């Protein structure tokens, strides 16, 4: 049973770390909301517990990148259905394309993961169903040489979390708290 705000903060941080590290975690695929009232699922690639920063990978040409440039306010929603814990994170987004961090995230990704960046920008209209990939890359694992020219399509999206709205659904009475790095308060559920 979680009885203190410190325990709430620790629980949220543990879940976010696990979400980033384990593809089996319920929090591995949270929903990112941008200030233009759009939402989408992203794979959580990292969580730095010191700076409260989430890391995602995305296409630098994707609409969410423009939305964040226009207004950096973002929300991130993660829900563990088994534990019945919801985390609503609020913070600001920042996109990095040409940094050391983006370079290392690119080179540490598998060729298969990087293959997505060979294709057309997300959201283009087509006459029929398609992957957006060039024909030669369909079902193929591209080589480093083939991937090098599309490095510019890859970006790291960092979300600096300002506060976490933690909600635990329980038959004994739901619990809810808002925690920041340096404080927090209990809320009615
Ligand atoms: C399970 C799942 C995981 C996804 N992971 C990512 C991801 O890590 N990065 C990403 O940019 N898009 C990912 N997507 C696609 C996004 O949800 C979204 O459709 C795409 O990024 C375009 O978003 P935008 O138009 O808002 O920019 C994922 C989709 C699903 C269903």
What domains appear along the chain, each with residue ranges and CATH number?
Answer: 5-187 (2.30.110.10)
**pLDDT for 88 beyond 90:** yes
Would you say the CB of residue 63 lies under 6 angstroms from ligand 1?
yes
Nearest CA to ligand 1 atom 5: 42
pLDDT at 1: 84
Would you say the CB of residue 45 lies under 6 angstroms from ligand 1?
no
What is the arithmetic mean of pLDDT over 97-126? 96
Cβ atoms of 135 and 76 closer than 8 Å: no
CA distance 75 to 92: 8
CA distance 70 to 47: 24
Q: Which residue has the tokens 């020219």?
A: 149
pLDDT at 45: 98
Would you say the CB of residue 81 lies under 6 angstroms from ligand 1?
no
pLDDT at 139: 87
CA distance 27 to 24: 8
The whole-angstrom distance between residue 147's C-alpha and the CA centroid of its chain comes to: 23
Write the pLDDT tens digit of every residue in 138-189. Answer: 988 999 999 999 999 999 999 999 999 999 999 999 999 999 999 999 999 9
**pLDDT for 40 beyond 90:** yes
Name 74's Cβ contacts closer than 8 Å, sequence gap at least 6. Answer: 32, 33, 34, 35, 68, 90, 91, 92, 93, 159
Nearest partner of 88 among 157, 174, 145, 16, judged by Cα: 16
Ligand 1 pocket test, candidate residues 31, 37, 58, 110, most atoms within 8 A of CB: 58
pLDDT at 156: 98
What is the arithmetic mean of pLDDT over 63-68? 98
CA distance 108 to 114: 10
Name 41's Cβ contacts closer than 8 Å, sequence gap at least 6. Answer: 29, 30, 31, 32
Write the pLDDT tens digit of every residue in 114-142. Answer: 999 999 999 999 999 999 999 999 988 99
Name 73's Cβ contacts closer than 8 Å, sequence gap at least 6. Answer: 34, 35, 90, 91, 92, 93
Task: Break the chain down into helix, strand, coil percent, rounded to 5.
Answer: 30, 35, 35
């Amino acid at each position: 049973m979680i009885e203190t705000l410190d325990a709430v903060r620790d629980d949220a941080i543990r879940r976010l770390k696990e979400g980033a590290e384990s593809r089996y975690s319920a929090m591995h695929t949270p929903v990112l909301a941008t200030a233009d009232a759009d939402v989408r699922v992203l794979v959580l690639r990292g969580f730095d517990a010191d700076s409260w920063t989430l890391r995602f990978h995305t296409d630098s040409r994707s609409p969410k990148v423009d939305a964040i440039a226009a207004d950096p306010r973002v929300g991130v929603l993660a829900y563990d259905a088994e534990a019945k814990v919801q985390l609503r994170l609020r913070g600001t987004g920042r996109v990095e394309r040409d940094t050391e961090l983006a370079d290392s995230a690119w080179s540490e990704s598998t060729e298969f993961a990087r293959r997505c960046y060979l294709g057309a920008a997300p959201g283009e209209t087509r006459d029929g169903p398609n992957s957006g990939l060039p024909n030669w890359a369909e079902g193929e694992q591209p080589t480093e040489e083939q991937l090098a020219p599309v490095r510019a399509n890859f970006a790291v999206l960092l979300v600096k979390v300002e506060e976490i709205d933690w909600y635990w659904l329980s038959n004994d009475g739901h619990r809810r708290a808002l925690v920041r790095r340096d404080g927090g308060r209990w809320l009615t559920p």
